[in-house]
Structure 1
Amino acid sequence: MGIFKTMGLREIINASGKMTALGASAVSDEIADSLRKAAQDYVDIDELMEYTGKVIAESTGAEDGCPVVGAAAGIAIATAAVIAGENLSLIEKIPDTAGIRNEVIVQKGQLVHFGASIGQMIRIGGGKVIEVGQANKVEKEHIEQAVTEKTAALMYIKSHHAVQKGMQPLETMLDIAQRYQLPFIIDAAAEEDFQKYIRFGADIVIYSGGKALAGPTSGMICGKKQLMTACRKQYKGVGRPMKIGKEGMAGLITALKQYPFKSSNTEQQMERMTALCRKLEKIDGLRCSIKQDEAGREIYRAQIQVDENKTGFSAEKLLYLLESGNPAIYLRHHYVNVGILSVDPRPLLPGQEDSIAEAIINIISEGKKK
C-alpha cells in the first residue's frame, strides 16, 4: 500500500504528465535511497551546493550550475542574478530594484500561467517585465525596440503552455541578446535535452528536476560560470525562502547521473496508447488518436475526442467524474474546452491504461442506462 493511501488520501492514477499538482515524478529506487541517506546525514551546504553545480555542468555541458528547489525558483533566482550579480548590497534589496538595470524582455505569447505566473516569478527576482508584441504575433522589431539602458536580460519560455505560432524563434532572441551584449535566459523547465540550449549559446538555462529528469522536487540552473556564481549568491537574499535542501540536491545528483542511461520508450508509449485507443473507439462518441507533444518533445499521447451528443457527457463532465473517483484518474485537459482529453503514458504504472479505459467505458455505459 502506498504511503499516501495509509494516510487516508485517495489513490491517484496520473495520466496528465509530470505535473507539479500531482507530485511531478515517482522517483527510482536509487534516487529514493539517496534522499533517505541524505536526510539521515550532515553536510556543509555551501560545499554540497558547489559540488551539485559541477554535476549539473557535466550533465549540461555548461561552465557551471546552481541547484534550486524548482524551475519557478530558478526563474526568480536567475533574474536576481542578472540584476544584482554578486553585489551583496543589491542582493539584499531584491525585489526592490528601482533605479537600477532591471528590465526583462519576454514575448507576450510566452507570459503564461504554468500553475503560477511567469511574470510573477520574474518580479520576485526583482525584474520589471517588458512584454513585447501581441499574444499571437511578435516581430523582431518589437524585441529590438524594447531594448534600453535599463534592460537586464532577454528571456525565452520553451513550454507547451506558450503560444507556439507567431512568436520569434530562439535564434532571433539570441542574436539580439548578443548584439546588445545582454544575458539570454531560457526557461526550459520540462525539456528533455539538457545540453541543447547551452550548445545553442544561451547564457542561462533553467530546468525542472522533477519532470523530464524524473528526479525529486528540485530544479537546476546552468550556464556561464560568473552568472552561476551570482545565482548561488542569491541564497543570501531572495533565494533564502526557496532554498533547496540536502535531500533535494542528493536526489538531483543521482537523477542526473542516471539520466544518460534512460530510454524514452517511444515505441512502448505508442503501443500502450494504441491499445488504449482500440478499447475506447468501441464506444460510440469517442474518437482516439496518437498525437506527439505540442512542443515537439518525444512524447506520444492518446488524444480522446468526446462527442457529447453521442456519449451523453461533455469532456468537462467526464473529466470531473474521473477525478472524483477512487482511484482518482487525472487526464491531461489543456483542450477540454473543445472536447479533447489526453492520456500521457509516461507517469502511468504498468496496466493503468487498462484501468483508465475501464473507468471511461463504465462512466459512459452507466450514464446511458439512466
Structure 2
Amino acid sequence: MSADKHPSLYEKYHLKPVINASGRMTMLGVSTPGPEVVVAVNEGLSHYFEMKDLVLKSGAYIAGLLGVEEAVVVSCASAGIAQSVAAVIVQESEHLLVNLHSAAHDRPCEIVLPKGHNVNYGAPVGTMVALGGGRVVEAGYANECSAAQLAAAITPRTAALLYVKSHHTVQKSMLTVAEAAEVAHHHQLPLIVDAAAEEDLTCYYQMGADLVIYSGAKALEGPSSGLVIGRAPYVGWVRRQSEGIGRAMKIGKEGILGLAQAIECYVQRTPVSGQQMVEKMTPFIDRLNGLPGIHARVVWDAAGRDIARTEIAFDEAALGVRTAEIVQRLREGEVAIYFRGYRANEGKVEVDVRSVTPAQLARIADAIATLREARP
C-alpha cells in the first residue's frame, strides 16, 4: 500500500471482506443504503435540531408518504416491539411511564401471540415483550392457531395481541393478520404486528393492525433504525416511551433523517421482482448443476414475499463432507461467504441474490467447486 493511500476499513480494523448471500441479516450489517440516504445521514450529523420536534415532524412526514395515521422512527424493530408493549401497558400514566421497571400495578400486561410465533429471530420475541413490561401468553399449538384459539387465550389481563410476520414463524395452519385484527377489535384490544423484514409498508395497517413494526435497515435499506406506524393514540403512546424505556433505545438525528429519506426512495422506486432475481441467478444455478454431488434450483420465499432464492443441495455421501462443514469452511475463507443456513441439517442451504453481484455469484461457485475438489 502506497504512503498516500488510506487503508480500507477492512485493512484498518483487520476485518475480513464478506459476500452476503444470506439476505438482509443483522449479523452482517443488514444492508447498504444508497447515496441519497448517505447524504441525508450526513446532513443530519452536520446540524442541530430540537429532537422532540424532529421526532414528531419526521413521523408526520413518513405517515403522509405512507397514508397512515401516525408514524415514529425508533432505533430498530426489536426496540419497536419493546416500546409498543410498554405503550399499550403504560398508555397515558405519567407515574408508570418512568416507573414501569419497579412500580406494582394492576394494569393488563399479558401479550397474547400464536405459539408458533414465539420465535428466536436473533433474540427471543419474549425478551422484547418482557423489556416492555409484558408477559407472553401463547395461543394455540406449535403447528396451528385459529382465530378461536387466539380468542380463547384472552383474559382481563390481556393488554394486546401480537402477530409476528416472518419466515422464522410456523406458516401452516395459522390465522391471518386480518383474522387476528378481527379478534383483537372484538375484544377491544390493539393488535401489534412485527413485520420487521416485510416489504409492504401498508398492507397490515390496512388489514386492521393498530401498530406495525418494520426494520429500517432491511427491505427499506436505511440506516440502523426501526419504524412504527399505526393509529392514534397508540403511536403517540410509543413516542412517549422516549421518556421511559425508550431512553435506552434512542435513535440519533442521523438515523431519523436517513430512514425518512430511505422510505421516500423506497415508495418511489420500482421493486426488483422475484422473476428478475431468477434471471440473475440462472447462470449461477447452471454452473452449480455441472458439479457432481451438487444440485441447485430456484425456491421462493417461505413467508410468501416475492423473493426468489437459489437452493443448493449437497450430496453429503458422495462429497464425503457434511453441509454444516461446507458452510463453515466458506465462512472461514479469505473472503467470508455467508448463506442462509437454516436447513443445513437437511443438506441444503439457500443463496439470497438481492445483495450479491453476478461477479460475487461466480466467486461463490468457484469456492464451492474448489471445496469439492479438495474433499477428503
Q: State the TM-score, normalizing by the size of structure 2.
A: 0.95
Q: CA deviation at 1:312?
A: 2.1
Which residue matches 2:336? Answer: 328
Correspondent of 2:350 among 328, 339, 342? 342
CA contact (8 A) 2:177 2:209 kept: no
Return the offset for 1:303.
Answer: 0.4
> Where in structure 2 are the equivalents of 1:1-370 lying within 5 Å?
2-96=8-102, 98-266=105-273, 267-367=275-375, 370=376
User: Following TM superposition, by how much is the alpha carbon of 1:325 offset from its aligned partner in structure 2, in angstroms?
Assistant: 0.8
* Secondary structure in structure 2 of the residue aligned to 1:351: helix
Closer, same or farther: CA 19–75 of 1 in aligned 2, 3 Å: same
Deviation digits for residues 271-295 of structure 1, max 9, x if unmatched? 1211111011111111101111110
Q: Which deviations, in whole Å up to 9, do the C-alpha atoms of 1:292-347 show, x marking residues without a partner? A: 11101111100001111112222101100000012100011111111111100111
Separation (CA, whole Å) in 1 of partners of 2:101 and 2:303: 32
CA distance in 1, matches of 2:143, 2:220: 31
Residues in 2 aligned to 1:111 and 1:60: alpha-carbon distance in whole angstroms? 29
Q: Residue 265 and residue 141 in structure 1: after superposition, are their counterparts in 2 closer, same or farther (change >3 A)?
A: closer
The 3 A distance-change label for structure 1 pair 251 and 5 is farther
Aligned-partner Cα distance in 2 for 1:277–1:313: 21
| Alpha-carbon distance in structure 2 between the residues aligned to 1:5 and 1:163 | 42
Q: What's the offset of the Cα at 1:91?
A: 1.2
Contact persistence 2:85–2:129 (CA under 8 A): yes
8 Å contact from structure 1 (residues 272, 353) kept in 2? no
AA aligned to 2:71 is: G
Letter of the structure 1 residue corresponding to residue 284 of structure 2: L
Q: Structure 2 CA distance, aligned partners of 1:52 and 1:20? A: 25
Which structure 2 segments of 5+ residues have no match? 1-6
Distance in structure 2 (CA, Å) of the matches to 1:126 and 1:95: 7
Could you say what the CA RMSD is over the residues aligned between the two structures, in angstroms?
Answer: 1.4
Shift of 1:93: 2.1
Q: CA 1:260/1:52 → structure 2, altered by over 3 Å: closer, same or farther?
A: same
Aligned length: 368
> Shift of the alpha carbon at 1:2?
4.7
CA distance in 1, matches of 2:101, 2:364: 46
1:66 counterpart SS class: strand
Deviation at 1:138, TM superposition (A): 2.1
Alpha-carbon spacing, 1:92–1:252, altered in 2? closer, same or farther (3 Å):
same
Q: Distance in 2 between matches of 1:88 and 1:98?
A: 13
Q: Report deviation, 1:132.
A: 1.2
Sequence identity of aligned pairs in percent? Answer: 38
Q: Summarize the Cα distance change of 1:85–1:65 in structure 2 as closer, same or farther, 3 Å threshold.
A: same
So what's the TM-score if we normalise by structure 1? 0.96
Structure 1: segments with no counterpart, 5+ residues: none
Alignment check: 8 A CA contact 2:178 2:208 kept: no
One-letter code aligned to 1:35: V
1:130–1:146: 8 Å Cα contact kept in structure 2? yes
Matches of 1:260 and 1:137 in 2, distance apart?
A: 34
**Shift of residue 350, structure 1, vs aligned partner:** 4.6
2:142 aligns to what SS in structure 1?
A: coil
CA contact (8 A) 1:204 1:222 kept: yes
* 3-state secondary structure, aligned to 2:245: coil
Q: Residues of 2 paired with 1:91 and 1:280: CA distance?
A: 56
| Deviation of the 1:222 alpha carbon | 0.4
Distance change in 2, residues 1:349/1:38 (3 Å): farther
CA–CA separation in structure 2 for the residues paired with 1:263 and 1:339: 35
C-alpha contact (below 8 Å) 1:277/1:288 kept by paired residues:
yes
Residues in 1 aligned to 2:97 and 2:171: alpha-carbon distance in whole angstroms: 35
Q: 1:205 to 1:13 in 2, by over 3 A?
A: same
In the TM superposition, residue 225 of structure 1 has moved relative to its aligned partner by: 2.1
Match of 2:3 in 1: none
More moved, 242-251 vs 255-264:
255-264
Q: How far apart are the structure 2 equivalents of 1:59 and 1:344?
A: 29
Q: Please say if residues 59 and 194 of structure 1, whose CA atoms lie closer than 8 Å, have aligned partners that are also in contact.
A: no
Provide, for residues 187-234 of structure 1, a one-character-per-residue CA deviation record: whole Å limited to 9, x for no partner. Answer: 111000101111111111000000000111001000012111111100
